[in-house]
Amino acid sequence: MTKRKWHIILPFTLPSLLLFLVFLVYPYGQAMYISLTKWRGLTPKPTFVGFANFEKLLGDTLFWNALKHNLIYLVSIPVITIVISLYLAFLLTHGKARFRKFYRIAFFFPQVMSLVAIGVLWSFIYHPTIGVLSSIAGMLGAADPIAWLGNPDLALGAVGAVVVWQAVGFYVVLFMAGMDSIPESYYEAATIDGATRWHLFWQITLPLLWDTIRTALVFLAIGATNMFAITQTMTQGGPNRSTDVLSTYVYERAFLSGKFGYATAVAVAMFLLAFALSILTMRATRRETLEY
C-alpha cells in the first residue's frame, strides 16, 4: 500500500509544487529579503539593514492605523457576508420561492462586474448630491447631503458594505451547492415530525454545512486582510487615512514614497498576521465532520 500510495502522491503533487515554487515562493522569498534592506526599488543592490525596518514599524502610527482597519474588516465582513448568504441560500433552497433560478443567477451579478465598474457604480450611489443613498437619507429627513466616502467616520463602513454586496453572490452559490447536496430525505423526515424552516435550518442545514461555512470564513478572512483593489479603487485610503489598510499602505510606501525596504517589512508583517489568523480560524472552527 505505502509504495503504491507514492505512485499517485508524487505525480499528483509535483507539477503543482514546481509551478508554485518557481513563480510564487521564489519571487516572494526574494521580496522578503528586501524587508531587511533599505531600497528605493531602482538599483540592483539594496543596502542590508537587518531588522531596522521592523523596529521602525513598531513605532509607526500609520501602520497601526491601517492594521486597525484590517481588524475591523476582519471581524465584520465575514460575519455579515455569511449571515446574509446563508439566509438567502436557505430561502432559495427551502423557501419554495418563485423564480428560484432567476434569483440564483441574479445574485451572482456583482461577481462578474470588474472592480473598475464597481468603483464607478458605487461612486454614483454614494454621490452626496445625486446619489441614491443621499436621496433616501433626504427623504428620511437628513438636512445636509451625506458624504459617504468623504466623511472619515463613514468611509470605512461604506467601503466594507461594497465588499459585502459583491461577495454575497459567490457565497450564496457556494452554500446552495452545499445545501443541495444534503439529502432531501433528512428534511422530509424532520418536516413530518413538525419542524419549522427555522428548526430545519438550525438542526440540519447548519451542522451539515459546517465545513463549507468554515471554508467561507477563511476565504473572507483572507479577503479582509487584503482589501487592496477595492480600497484603491474607491478611496485610496482616504479621507485622511480613515480607510487605509495594510495593503494600500504597503503600496503607498513602495510605489509612491519609494521605500521598498520598509514597505516590504510591512508586507511581511501583514503576511505573518494573515497566516497566523488563517490557521487560528481553521483550528478554532474545526470539529468532527458529520458524515452522512
Stretch that binds another protein, among 65-73, 111-119, 187-195, 199-207 (CB under 8 A): 111-119
Of the candidate spans 75-83, 187-195, 199-207, 257-265, the one that interacts with another protein by CB under 8 A turns out to be 257-265
Number of residues engaging another protein in binding (CB under 8 A) = 127
Q: Is 83 in the site for another protein (CB under 8 A)?
A: no
Using rule CB under 8 A, residue 183 touches another protein: yes
Q: Binding segment for another protein among 70-78, 127-135, 187-195, 199-207 (CB under 8 A)? A: 127-135
Our finding on whether 106 is near another protein (CB under 8 A) is: yes
C-alpha–C-alpha distance, residues 141 and 255, integer Å: 44
Q: Does residue 258 interact with another protein by CB under 8 A? A: yes
Stretch that binds another protein, among 69-77, 119-127, 187-195, 199-207 (CB under 8 A): 119-127
CB of 129 to another protein, least distance (A): 5
Whose Cβ is closer to another protein: residue 75's or residue 99's? 99
Does residue 270 touch another protein according to CB under 8 A? yes
Return the number of the residue (163 or 173) whose C-beta is nearest another protein: 173
What is the distance in angstroms between the CA of the first residue and the CA of the last residue of the chain?
27
How many whole angstroms separate alpha carbon 213 and alpha carbon 202?
13
Q: Which listed residue (48, 64, 202, 228) binds another protein by CB under 8 A?
A: 228
Pick from 73, 169, 201, 217 the residue near another protein by CB under 8 A: 169
Contact positions with another protein (CB under 8 A) in 18-77? 19-20, 22-28, 30-31, 34, 38, 40-44
Site string for another protein, 184-223 (x = CB under 8 A): -x-----------x-------------xx-xx--xx--x-
